[in-house]
Amino acid sequence: MRLMLMLTMTAALTGLGAPLPVPAVLPVPAVGGAWPVRTRPPIVRGWVPPATEYGAGHRGVDLAAPVGSPVRAVAPGRVSFAGRVAGRGVVAVELSDTGEPPLRTTYEPVTASVKEGETVTSGEAVGTLEPTTGHCGPASCLHWGLLRGKVYLDPLSLLPPWLLRRGPSRLLPVPPAELWLSLERPAGPYSRPLP
């Protein structure tokens, strides 16, 4: 009992285990013009925000892709990091014109083809996908992240709705001719009377 009370007090004083304060964060603009891998890749695991700063969660989106696939910048920006972290290749791109602090996308595991300080455009290759070490099970995947300052956000929010849609575009059925004939047409130089 006494140990539990001490642990609770320590956690309260240090802030460990406390809910994250909800920061006043600018909305994420849909500035993305391309998926980071393939066209509409399967999402292996979605974004799950952690309840606390060090809590469990998934701070990005895992996208299925074969090893060696080109990894592309989702939106234009400047490469803020290209190197290895804990044995994994990582590329980070600070996005252009997204407010203060700016948005930053991260891609891993990636063998970088860009250097820190280079500017990239939407859809431009920043590297190739490396083998995944157990993160996505037996398959390989790209872990794609998004941050504003130190706050993790859902990277899918960068993509406009037309890029998120699955499947082919579909045409709506054509209404019957009687409906078209019953509609009033505006008068003008190119209009003609209906029979």
What percent of the chain clears pLDDT 90, i.e. is strictly above it? Answer: 46
Strand pairing partners for 141? Answer: 64
| Domain contains 118 | yes
| Domain contains 133 | yes
Q: Which residues of the chain have pLDDT under 50?
A: 1-24, 188, 190-191, 194
Q: Structurally, how many domains does the chain consist of?
A: 1
- Looking up residue 118, the CATH number of its domain turns out to be 2.70.70.10
**pLDDT of amino acid 135:** 72
Full residue range of the structural domain in which residue 126 is found:
59-162
**Sign, Cα dihedral of 14, 20, 21, 24:** positive
CA distance linking residue 142 with residue 47, whole number of Å: 13
| Domain contains 173 | no
The 3-state DSSP class for residue 83 equals: strand
Does this model's pTM top 0.75? My answer is no
